[in-house]
Structure 1
Amino acid sequence: MKLYALLYIFLCYSGIALCQGLNESATIELGPKNLSIDQPFTISVVLRDAENRPAVLFPEIKDLEKRSKSATSSISTVDGKKVVIQTITQEYYASKPGNYLIPKFTITVNGYRLHSEETMAVFALGEAATITEREASPEAQGNEFQSINEAVFLSVLTDKKTVFIREGFALRISLYIAENAPVEMEFYRFNIQLQSILKSLRPANCWEENVGIEEIVKRKIKIKGKNYTEYNMYQARLFPITTENIVFPSIKLDMLVTDNSAAVNVEKKVVRTFRSKAMIVNVKQLPEHPLRDQVAVGQYTLRETLSSTLVYPGESIRYMFKVEGIGNIAAIPAPAVQGNSNFDIYPPEVSQIIKRSYQNVTGEKTFDYFVVPRKDGTFPLGRYFQWVFFNSQKAAYDTLRSEKSLEVKGEDYKLANLSLTGSSGLYDNIENLDSSKRGFDYKKILREITNAVVIVLLITLIWVFRK
């Protein structure tokens, strides 16, 4: 009986500890299972209440090729508490249509082991794209590779040669090895070399948004009709914050190469150095404008919502001004709000969602306002809410203005009459509110109860041993 009691206590303790750890850790989410050949199967790790993005190594899947990786962070405020959600996503592509088995796998995140069960992904041949078109790499078609004749070469590549200040561009570091290259090689002290490379390449006058590469990602591409394998070591989006041109110096990478030339059946490994070409990205100043040094640069659109279009003076409403698009989302400033005597406009709650990938940094930033009208009338909100930015695609300034209109009916707003009229103003009955009451953190309470149960089980375990 004592053995069964010990076993029962141990299982209860292990189950509770495991559930508590997983509750505070991460979850795995799989993307759609039915796909066309030009679409990726995705595996995502979602972390809640995580300020920092951890390193995540995704599994290798037979017959599927790892491609782009993206990281999305969502920051919002719920009941006055900051909520952060990090999502890290890995894409997998198929080389031909068919059914692909995704075996069960385990991902370790922040010391916790997350499990995913076996599933099946189905890739069908799409109508709009062919396999040949998808295999062609956009980078490999540029002028940068037109003069390349080497079987092995190191490349530092950007997707733009000229940008405006605060406009994003991509940086990519890769080693290319031809399929028919007459050498065998392996990476040599890679982590040490990569840190040295990044130290010399990272410009001081740029804001960096990177996905984070914890492993070398390889893929098959064609360059000038020849088959190469690209070993991607680093990629990021950079946003210049000054008009100084960005210089990327030549970098070197040492590889361990197997040399068979010394004697028959005798292999000798030697260190061979590969160097990239230096390159410059030119940075242009924005055209003259009163807000030239303050505006965001990118491609943006406005989405807005108004909790009610018809209110009485003194009645509070919520107005959401959401900027979404391509650019440095984290650095987006709040819209310019025109001061006036018609409204009380309170500072907004700000939330944002940012998706980082090699192709772009996209997302949205939301400004949630409380607005209290003072007078009756019809008020186009475009007079009060507007946001100026520089459209990098059009190379011109643009303005996002509210298209909402608010109708206010009733007598002029008079602060002294609020308690008598029974209006639903923002500060009605504030003197009757009990500010001494504390809110409940249910997650904290559950954690404390769980810890108490664990302690009781441990005490019971000790008591059983002593008996």
Structure 2
Amino acid sequence: MKLYALLNIILCFSGTLCAQTINDASTIELGSKNLSLDQPFLISVVLRDAETRPAVIFPEINGLEKRSKSATSAISTVDGKKVVIQTITQEYYATKPGNYLIPEFVITVNTLKLKSEETMVVFSKSTGPGEALSAVVSPPFETEVEDTGDGIFLSVQTDKKAIYIREGFALRISLYIAENAPVQMEFYRFNEQLQSILKQLRPGNCWEENVGIEEIVKRKVTIRGRRYTEYNMYQARLFPITTEDIVFPSIALQMLVIDNSKAVNVERKVIKSFRSNKATISVRQLPDHPLRDQVAVGQYGLKENLSSELVYPGESVRYMFKVEGVGNIAAIPAPTIQTSSTFDIYPPEVSQIIKRSYQSVIGEKTFDYFVVPRKDGEFPLGRYFQWVYFNSAKAKYDTLRSAKMLSVKGEDYKLANLSLSGSSGLYDNLESLDSSKESIDYKKILKDTTNGIVILLLIAMVWVFRK
């Protein structure tokens, strides 16, 4: 009897644990499996309800080269609850056409182990001009380097030398070793050195967006006709928030170099320092404008949606104003709303999706408004919803305006206080609602109940063993 009771307790205990963790699912997602050489194979880790982005190390795949990594965060509100989804993606490129076996692998995220089954990816030969991307490539921008003569140098690179305030630029720290360099070396106390280097380099007047590098990523590059292996140690995009010029001082990286010059077949390791050049970024103020200190800087466009283009006075309508493009998405301000007695415009629900990579920070920020018209007539929403920004590509201010037209037909709401459809507006009779009643959180109730069951099962298990 004890054995049967114990088995039942274990089964119930396992069931309650599964019920608790099923909603915390994190997954591995694979990209397209039929690609051309200029296209990357993608492996993504999707984390739900993750406020912070954890460290993720992706597997090495035989025949494929790791390139860029990106991190996308999506923040929205569902039923009044904040929902966050983090997606971390690693790109893999092939150097030649063929079938590549992706073996079964496991990625550890915090204490959670995510498993992906074995699969096959096919890379075909490119027919377009993009084929060269998969071959040995040059750095994404001109590198100011000072080769020491033995084909090894440390570089702090930026993709721009002059920018506007709040405009983004890339920062990259890499060690380059020529393929024919007559020396062998290995990294020495790398994590300690990297933290010290970043402390020296990170400017205090910049907003930083980075993917995070948990491992040194190496790739083949060609610089001035010579082939190198690049060991990329850090990369980020920075957005200056003041007009003070940004100075990156010269930094040093110590490496263990194998020295066998003293005796034949005798190796000894010596510490050798490699130093980067100093780099400076000039930061310019924006041209004069009443909103100069408030506007976003970048390249943006507008997408909008109106739930209904014909309503009655007092009837609510939902209007979506979505700003998307390249820039510091997280810092995008809300549109400027022109106040009017014609409309009641209520504060928006805000959601955003940001994709961070070394090449750029792109994404979208959505403002969802409830609008209640009070008069009949034809109303172009461009009069009421405007968003001014500075276009860094054109070096001038621009304005995103709504192109929607809202038609309101019926008796004025302030006179009739009732829409002709007979239905109340969204905020009608608000004062009659009982705000003292709390909403029921069924998920919390279920979680508390399962926790209680687990405790009871543990007590029952102890009681069975004591008997």
- TM-score range (shorter-chain normalised) is over 0.9
Could you say which residue in structure 1 is the equivalent of 2:441?
441
| Greater Cα shift, 1-10 or 288-297 | 1-10
Could you say which residue in structure 2 is the equivalent of 1:83?
83
Give the SS at the match of 2:86.
strand
Amino acid in structure 2 at the alignment position of 1:71: A
Post-superposition shift, 1:428?
Answer: 2.8
Post-superposition shift, 1:426?
Answer: 2.0
Kindly provide the CA deviation profile for residues 243-281 of structure 1, in whole angstroms up to 9, marking residues without a partner as x. Answer: 111100000000011111110000000000000000101
Distance 2:143 2:61 in 1: 34
Could you say which residue in structure 2 is the equivalent of 1:158?
158
| Greater Cα shift, 5-14 or 207-216 | 5-14
Within 5 Å, give how 1:18-57 maps onto structure 2: 20-21=20-21, 23-24=23-24, 26-57=26-57
Kindly provide the CA deviation profile for residues 353-391 of structure 1, in whole angstroms up to 9, marking residues without a partner as x. Answer: 111000000000111111010110000101111111010
Q: Which runs of 5+ in 1 are unaligned?
A: none
| Greater Cα shift, 441-450 or 395-404 | 441-450
| Greater Cα shift, 346-355 or 424-433 | 424-433
Could you say which residue in structure 2 is the equivalent of 1:348?
348
Amino acid in structure 2 at the alignment position of 1:189: R
Post-superposition shift, 1:141?
Answer: 6.0
1:443 and 1:129, CA in 2 relative to 1: closer, same or farther beyond 3 A?
A: farther
Q: Is the contact between residue 68 and residue 358 of structure 2 (CA under 8 Å) also seen in structure 1?
A: yes
Post-superposition shift, 1:464?
Answer: 2.9
Give the SS at the match of 2:193.
helix
Report the TM-score when normalising by structure 1: 0.94
Q: Is the contact between residue 95 and residue 131 of structure 1 (CA under 8 Å) also seen in structure 2?
A: no
Distance 1:431 1:293 in 2: 39
Amino acid in structure 1 at the alignment position of 2:269: K
Distance 2:413 2:162 in 1: 54
Could you say which residue in structure 1 is the equivalent of 2:364?
364
**Does 2:106 match 1:106?**
yes
Q: Is the contact between residue 150 and residue 181 of structure 2 (CA under 8 Å) also seen in structure 1?
A: no
Give the SS at the match of 1:371.
strand
**Does 2:232 match 1:244?**
no
1:403 and 1:19, CA in 2 relative to 1: closer, same or farther beyond 3 A?
A: same
Q: Is the contact between residue 135 and residue 221 of structure 1 (CA under 8 Å) also seen in structure 2?
A: no
Could you say which residue in structure 2 is the equivalent of 1:184?
184
Distance 1:216 1:462 in 2: 50
Amino acid in structure 1 at the alignment position of 2:90: Q
| Greater Cα shift, 324-333 or 130-139 | 130-139
Q: Is the contact between residue 146 and residue 224 of structure 1 (CA under 8 Å) also seen in structure 2?
A: no
Could you say which residue in structure 1 is the equivalent of 2:278?
278
Amino acid in structure 1 at the alignment position of 2:275: R
Kindly provide the CA deviation profile for residues 138-168 of structure 1, in whole angstroms up to 9, marking residues without a partner as x. Answer: 5266252597854111000001111111000
Give the SS at the match of 1:262.
coil
Q: Is the contact between residue 66 and residue 90 of structure 1 (CA under 8 Å) also seen in structure 2?
A: yes
Kindly provide the CA deviation profile for residues 61-118 of structure 1, in whole angstroms up to 9, marking residues without a partner as x. Answer: 1111111111111111112211111111111111111111111111111211111111
Amino acid in structure 1 at the alignment position of 2:318: R
Q: Which runs of 5+ in 2 are unaligned?
A: none
Q: Is the contact between residue 375 and residue 408 of structure 1 (CA under 8 Å) also seen in structure 2?
A: yes
Distance 1:133 1:152 in 2: 24
Distance 1:347 1:125 in 2: 52
1:354 and 1:415, CA in 2 relative to 1: closer, same or farther beyond 3 A?
A: farther
Could you say which residue in structure 1 is the equivalent of 2:227?
227
Aligned residues: 467
1:9 and 1:183, CA in 2 relative to 1: closer, same or farther beyond 3 A?
A: farther
Distance 2:405 2:419 in 1: 28
Distance 2:445 2:262 in 1: 71
Report the TM-score when normalising by structure 2: 0.94
Post-superposition shift, 1:23?
Answer: 3.5
Post-superposition shift, 1:458?
Answer: 2.1
Q: Is the contact between residue 314 and residue 423 of structure 1 (CA under 8 Å) also seen in structure 2?
A: no
Distance 1:57 1:23 in 2: 24
1:262 and 1:14, CA in 2 relative to 1: closer, same or farther beyond 3 A?
A: farther
Post-superposition shift, 1:344?
Answer: 0.7
| Greater Cα shift, 367-376 or 139-148 | 139-148
Distance 2:176 2:400 in 1: 44
Post-superposition shift, 1:454?
Answer: 2.5
Give the SS at the match of 2:372.
strand
| Greater Cα shift, 203-212 or 219-228 | 219-228
Within 5 Å, give how 1:167-182 maps onto structure 2: 167-182=167-182
Give the SS at the match of 2:418.
helix
Could you say which residue in structure 2 is the equivalent of 1:204?
204
Give the SS at the match of 2:364.
strand
Q: Is the contact between residue 410 and residue 420 of structure 2 (CA under 8 Å) also seen in structure 1?
A: no
